[in-house]
Amino acid sequence: MTPHIEAKLEEIAKKVLMPGDPKRAEWIAKNYLKDAKIVNEIRGMTAYTGYYKDELITVFPSGMGMPSMGIYSYELFNIYNVDTIIRIGTCGSYSKDLSLLDVVMAQDVYTISNFTIPFGDDYHHLKASQEVNDKILLAASNNNITLKPCNILTSDVFDPYIDAKKYLSSVPYNVQISEMEAFALLYMALKAGKKATCLATVVDTINDKKTISAKDREQSLNDMVKVALEALAV
């Protein structure tokens, strides 16, 4: 147990699917996992462990932002001995080549945040696990699901609340989408010698101000969930 996770060590699987929203974790567990049981309820971050096909998988929410992702992924990697985490979430698109509900896969992940400085580092660029990405690409191909590899910006701010185009002009990286957790996950994986990547579904576009509803964000992301679970089941 930790101050944030009440599960016993054996109740957390070696492979973790990590949405941001606890409600999304609940929906995934109910619709995709067999024999799922609740393994954490502290702070409302309800997590589930069950079987997808024959693979034991934990679905554990991260909450919003790098600080929350950093806490949960650190404890899962270092205390619960998790080997692989795939973040699944939503993102905003900066690219005219991406449309609502497109599924993107992290290649390079950037941030202008100083998240790593308290750990004695000064990283602003990390790469997703190629091993896990290869499994994701194979799963997508086997299920006729289109994935778009992208460079991701992990931001400390929610783009629709700011002048995102002006913000992007200050970012010294070639990025196609923005979200708020992936960089922290990849950094914790790097520090622990573990594997991590991120899948995200486009739910906002800054070019035409399109978006989808909160309910659709919670439940209409089946392609992303299916690909991630299939990759973890390999």
Taking the C-alpha atoms of residue 123 and residue 79, their distance in angstroms, rounded to an integer, is 23
Assigned CATH for 9-232: 3.40.50.1580
Tell me the pLDDT band of 48, cut-offs 50, 70 and 90.
Answer: very high
Q: Any bridge partners for residue 16, and if so which?
A: 58, 85
Which residue in the list 204, 208, 216, 223 is annotated as catalytic? 204
Q: Are strands 177-179 and 47-52 parallel, antiparallel or unpaired?
A: unpaired
For the entire predicted model, the pTM comes to 0.94
> Is the dihedral angle over the CA atoms 31, 33, 34, 37 positive or is it negative?
negative
Query: What is the per-residue pLDDT across 94-131, written as a single tens digit (0 to 9) for each?
Result: 888 898 889 999 999 999 999 999 999 999 999 999 99
Q: Are strands 103-110 and 125-127 parallel, antiparallel or unpaired?
A: antiparallel
- Give yes or no for a contact between 92 and 51, defined as CB atoms under 8 angstroms apart: no
Please confirm, yes or no, whether 121 is among the known catalytic residues. Answer: no
**φ and ψ at residue 7, rounded to 5 degrees:** -65, 150
Query: What is the per-residue pLDDT across 156-191, written as a single tens digit (0 to 9) for each?
Result: 988 877 777 777 777 888 899 999 999 999 999 999
What value does the mean pLDDT of the chain take? 92
Task: Return the minimum-mean-pLDDT range out of 12-16, 34-38, 189-193, 208-212.
Answer: 208-212
